[in-house]
Amino acid sequence: MARPRSFDPDDVLDVAREVFWRKGFQATSLDEITAASGIGKPSLYAAFGDKDALFLRVLDRYHDGILGWAERTLAQPGSARDAIQQWLMGFIPYCSGEKGQRGCFSIKSASDGSLHQVEVRKSIERYNRRLEELIRARLRADRAQFKKGFDPDISAHTIMVVHTGLMALAHQLPDPKQVKAVIDQVMALLA
Amino acid sequence: MARPRSFDPDDVLDVAREVFWRKGFQATSLDEITAASGIGKPSLYAAFGDKDALFLRVLDRYHDGILGWAERTLAQPGSARDAIQQWLMGFIPYCSGEKGQRGCFSIKSASDGSLHQVEVRKSIERYNRRLEELIRARLRADRAQFKKGFDPDISAHTIMVVHTGLMALAHQLPDPKQVKAVIDQVMALLA
DNA sequence: ACAATTCTGTACTTATTGGTATATAACCAC
DNA sequence: GTGGTTATATACCAATAAGTACAGAATTGT
């Protein structure tokens, strides 16, 4: 029928994510993305719409990736405590050392001028809500394993706060051991 | 000698902070700051240098304000536990409800494209280090009040992580009660 | 009152950037 | 092959923004 696309949209989204992640929404020019991805601006526009829409696609994709992994990890058999601890520890490589330096793309986006977009705000809100929901659901399901007076809702939020704090402090290249120590300490609250 | 300044530099820095805080470094134009402050661009440049230098001044000023308050609060008489709890609770109005929506200017700056400035990165790093230092010092000083096995250094970092997490999640307008509940839960670690 | 000096307002320059018009290339059905 | 259709590349436009030149205003010492 017609000329086919010369690129894989997902590849371009991955490239765009790298650039947006490194420089932020506002500071990223479309020229940088076209240069990094190798496709031209008209193709970019035809495939994803304008800069705002492209960014939203990239951000949603990022969120979906993390949520998918969280769903799998938090659904594992065994105790809720172990599942949550393993989930938290999975972030250690992403919030410590060199690799963690760029921090969390979602937090970065929440703090960037990109928040002028209502859609971006909503995407981040959905992401945070869904993440906390997953933790809460798991804690509620295994409620019997905890001692009397345990409040799964508050605990879920605390876990969420700690997780966010760890990711937000990733810029400082903390020692993985230090992150582990914090997780261990907080896990003591789940007893 | 010569024509005097027609504005108070601190006032301008306060106005600039509001604009930078709301829109982020990249998305803020100098025209917006001149419009909001009422002074012209040449005056702005003469007083503070270019946009980067102005932003750094604003950020340092913000950091100094919070650090000063932390020094006062954490040095109060009584137990280390009470001092830290009070310090944490002092942030509740700034990380919940409408007022908290804009979040923490430091975290926002750490996630903005403004990090391209080495100076900005250093300022944030100094701020975080100093804050943790204050908490750690207080915990160490009152070490005897805690039970055996208590590690003031790890606990200080955990407090720091929680504080950062609360501020980073402020965009979602959490209920102050919820924030309070998290603080209470975490304070249980200091026993 | 006047000169020396510093500040301020207007207008401008230059560079960048988001977005698009247009012409051409690549593909498929027939 | 040819026509219809969709993608790509080049070049461009309009808007915005950082930074500055320059002329004029405000102050103080003499």
Please report, rounded to whole angstroms, the spatial distance between the CA atom of protein residue A2 and the C1' atom of nucleotide C30.
14
pLDDT the model gives residue A60: 98
Report which secondary-structure segment, H or E, holds B183: helix B176-187
Taking an 8 Å cut-off on Cβ atoms, the answer to whether B158 and A186 are in contact is yes
Q: Which nucleotides of D are covered by protein (CB under 7 A)?
A: 4-11, 16-22, 24-29
Min CA distance, A48 vs chain B (Å)? 23
Taking residues B101-111, what's their average pLDDT?
A: 94
The 10s digit of each residue's pLDDT in A26-51 is 999 999 999 999 999 999 999 999 99
CB-closest option in A125, A151, A167 to B172:
A125
What's the confidence (pLDDT) of residue A2? 85
Structure tokens at A17: 């994510």
Closest nucleotide to the alpha carbon of A26, via C1': C17
Sign (positive or negative) of CA dihedral B93, B98, B104, B105: negative
What is the residue-averaged pLDDT of chain B?
95
Around A155, how many Cα atoms within 13 Å sit in the side-chain half-sphere?
25
pLDDT for A102-123, tens place per residue?
999 999 999 876 677 899 999 9
How far is Cα B22 from Cα A112, in angstroms, rounded to an integer?
A: 10
Which of the residues B111, B150, B154 would you substitute to probe the A interface, choosing the one with the greatest number of A C-beta atoms within 10 Å?
A: B111
Give the pLDDT score at A114: 63
Q: How far is CA A153 from the centre of its chain?
A: 21
Q: What is the mean pLDDT of residues A80-99?
A: 97
Distance A85 CA to C10 C1' (A): 63
Q: What's chain A's average pLDDT?
A: 95
Contact A42, A53 (CB under 8 A): no
**pTM over 0.85, yes/no:** yes
Check residue A14 and give its pLDDT: 98
Q: For residues B75-96, give the mean pLDDT.
A: 96
Please tell me if residue B185 touches chain A, with a CB cutoff of 8 Å.
Answer: yes
CA distance B3 to chain A (A): 38
Token code pair at residue B53: 């230098």
Contacts of A155 in chain B (CB under 8 A): 185
CA of A47 to C1' of C27 (A): 18
Tokens of A165: 């704090």
Distance CA B64, CA A171 (A): 20
Tens of pLDDT, residues B1-53: 789 999 999 999 999 999 999 999 999 999 999 999 999 999 999 999 999 99
Provide CB contacts within 8 A for B190, sequence distance 6+. Answer: B80, B81, B84, B139, B146, B150, B155
The pLDDT assigned to B111 comes to 83
> Å from A8 to nearest chain B CA?
28
How far is the C-alpha of B99 from the C-alpha of B102, rounded, in Å?
7
A122 touches chain B (CB under 8 A): no
Minimum CA–CA partner of B24 in chain A: A113
- Average pLDDT in the B128-152 region? 95
* pLDDT digits 0-9 by tens, A123-163: 999 999 999 999 999 999 999 999 998 999 999 999 999 99
Residue in chain B closest to A122 (alpha carbons) equals B172
